[in-house]
Chain A
Amino acid sequence: MSTLLEVKNLHAIYGQTRALHGVSFSLEEGGITTLLGANGAGKTTTLRSVCNMVRTEGEISFAGARIDGKATEEIVRLGVAHVPEGRGTFVHLTVEENLKLGSYTRKDKAEIQADMELVFRYFPRLKERLAQQAGTLSGGEQQMLAISRALMLKPRLMLLDEPSFGLAPLVVQEIFRIMRRINQEEKVSMLLVEQNAALALDLADHAYVLETGRVVMSGLADEVKNDEGVRRSYLGY
């Protein structure tokens, strides 16, 4: 397996303050890596850094090429689909329009249509809601739409920022099951930020633990799960 995303000595700067202090991690092609940590640890900032949505210093390479300093939309065009915190759907547009925007950068019309069908296989509920305004969907449906929109990009890497946020446990389970299928069936690598550490460690193969902008621990998800400190701080038993 080759390295798809490599981050070296990443610093993120908001105005006068630094939110990350030299974070390094890498992600294998086809894998799922999760970033864990408490509120304010820098998980979301790390994700935003990959897409150049905050000012950064350090090196970020995607598929062997440096992407730090590139415009967000150009990074997206390389196949990096970011499902942001709060889902970031276009609430005034219809579900169909949201999905079409997902494939905005692609020119392969026939395949786009096929991917639309693919999305409906994963999330049949969206098909019933095609003409509905995205803002009128339930929280779970909006998260499904956000993931579907990301899928319509035909990405190599999906960045997922707290997909479980604000959703009922059953819905979360459903969404995580489908994320696993997308990873396996569509060969989409994933970088997952989650508050729900147990859930994230079940899905991921690698994990990094962040504390106040630094990586304090990393390893295979199973190892991290069995670590005494992680168990106490993040798993709560």
Chain B
Amino acid sequence: MDFVIQQITSGLAEGAIFASVALALVMIFTATEHLNFAQGEMAMFSTYLAWTLINAGVPYWLAFVITVVISFAGGVTIEYVVLRPLARAPVLAYVIVFIGLLVIFNSMAGWIWSYVLKEFPSPFKAFATGSNLIGSHQLGVIAVTLIVLTALFLFFKFTPLGLAMRAAAQNPVSAKLVGIRVGWMLALGWGLAASIGAVAGMMVAPIVFLDPNMMAGILLYGFASALLGGISNPAGAVLGGFIFGVLQNVPTIIERLLNINVIGNELKLTFALVVVVAVLTFKPSGLFGQVRIKRV
């Protein structure tokens, strides 16, 4: 039983990171219908900034806050400088720009910080959980993710700015007609997505170690989570992240219980991805996504 609980909690901890990345993707997707392939690399870059600050002697949580703020500004700047001129460009132009951003951030990180793996501290090592079911970092990751998600939920649900951002994402034309500066809402969305990504990066770095390619896989799983939960639904995408995290450990649990070894550790993510594909085959809009009906 302990083994099962362990697997589930570690799945939830990883799922929290997928959920954050999924949410960052969905935030930009709902507003623009574009998938930001560079989301992971932006998060990786932010994590390097945090690493630099911490190595320069800045206390962890101060470095955390500074990184989140800088990432926010960075996200806003990217939208304003790189994406705004594309306003009416065809989809492929966006795809190229996102891939360009991905490559730029990846090589810049390699150039500035080298490709050598770096250790990234976990702020939660100090508290022992006193349990062998869940590690302190895992618990911390889940807690931080839940705090971020709750804060975002409250922001979008209860503040005028959050409401304006939702309105701008849903119906940009009508949003302009009530005086909302839609361009700025989009830039704020990019800022928020970059900040969420930064948090995800700082949470995952102690597990996978910091290197310029650390987010490549996580972006993919974040994307799969978003699709699983429903890419049009932020809450669904978050749930998708947690489900995906736990799902990848399901084969391990079953194998242990049955005392067999078929899938093993290497294929556990593959298993989860296969399940996602299977779900999407039967429910293309995802588990919690809205089915889009177009009148023709």
Which A residues contact B (CB, under 8 angstroms)?
51, 53, 71-73, 76-77, 81-82, 84, 88-93, 97, 100-102, 104-105, 149, 153
Q: Name 7 extra pairs, CB < 8 A, besides A53-B173, A90-B171, A104-B179.
A: A76-B178, A77-B179, A84-B174, A88-B173, A92-B170, A101-B167, A153-B178
Partner of B182, one of A73, A82, A100: A73
In the complex the two chains form, is B177's CB within 8 Å of A88's CB? yes
Partner of B167, one of A77, A93, A105, A153: A93
Residues on A with beta carbons closer than 8 Å to the beta carbon of B170: 90-93
Residues on B with beta carbons closer than 8 Å to the beta carbon of A101: 163-164, 167, 175, 178, 180
In the complex the two chains form, is A93's CB within 8 Å of B173's CB? no
Residues on B with beta carbons closer than 8 Å to the beta carbon of A71: 176, 181
> B166 at the A/B interface (Cβ < 8 Å)?
yes
A91 to B181, CA, bound (A): 20
Q: At the interface, is chain B mostly helix, strand, loop or mixed?
A: helix
Residues on A with beta carbons closer than 8 Å to the beta carbon of B177: 51, 72, 76, 81-82, 84, 88
A81 to B174, CA, bound (A): 11
In the complex the two chains form, is B173's CB within 8 Å of A76's CB? no
Residues on A with beta carbons closer than 8 Å to the beta carbon of B171: 88, 90-91
A82 to B181, CA, bound (A): 16
Q: How far is the CB of B67 from chain A (nearest CB, A)?
A: 31
A77 to B178, CA, bound (A): 8
A88 to B181, CA, bound (A): 17
In the complex the two chains form, is B160's CB within 8 Å of A73's CB? no
20 contacting pairs across A/B (C-beta < 8 A)? A51-B177, A72-B177, A73-B181, A76-B177, A76-B178, A81-B177, A84-B177, A88-B171, A88-B177, A90-B167, A90-B174, A91-B170, A93-B170, A100-B160, A101-B167, A101-B175, A102-B178, A104-B160, A153-B178, A153-B179
Residue ID in chain A nearest B174 by CB atoms: A88
Interface-centre pick from B164, B170, B175, B178 (highest chain A CB count, 10 A): B178
In the complex the two chains form, is B180's CB within 8 Å of A73's CB? yes
In the complex the two chains form, is A104's CB within 8 Å of B174's CB? no
Q: How far is the CB of B143 from chain A (nearest CB, A)?
A: 31
Residues on B with beta carbons closer than 8 Å to the beta carbon of A153: 178-179
Partner of B178, one of A53, A91, A92, A104: A104
Residues on B with beta carbons closer than 8 Å to the beta carbon of A76: 176-179
Residues on A with beta carbons closer than 8 Å to the beta carbon of B175: 101
A72 to B178, CA, bound (A): 9
Q: How far is the CB of B158 from chain A (nearest CB, A)?
A: 11
Q: List CB contacts (< 8 Å) of B170-218 with chain A.
A: 170-171, 173-182
Residues on A with beta carbons closer than 8 Å to the beta carbon of B179: 73, 76-77, 104-105, 153
In the complex the two chains form, is A72's CB within 8 Å of B176's CB? yes
In the complex the two chains form, is A93's CB within 8 Å of B166's CB? yes
Q: How far is the CB of A130 from chain B (nearest CB, A)?
A: 15
A110 to B167, CA, bound (A): 23
Residues on A with beta carbons closer than 8 Å to the beta carbon of B160: 100, 104
Residues on B with beta carbons closer than 8 Å to the beta carbon of A90: 167, 170-171, 174
Residues on B with beta carbons closer than 8 Å to the beta carbon of A73: 176, 179-182
Partner of A89, one of B174, B180, B182: B174
A237 to B163, CA, bound (A): 49
Q: How far is the CB of B288 from chain A (nearest CB, A)?
A: 14
Residues on A with beta carbons closer than 8 Å to the beta carbon of B163: 93, 97, 100-101, 104
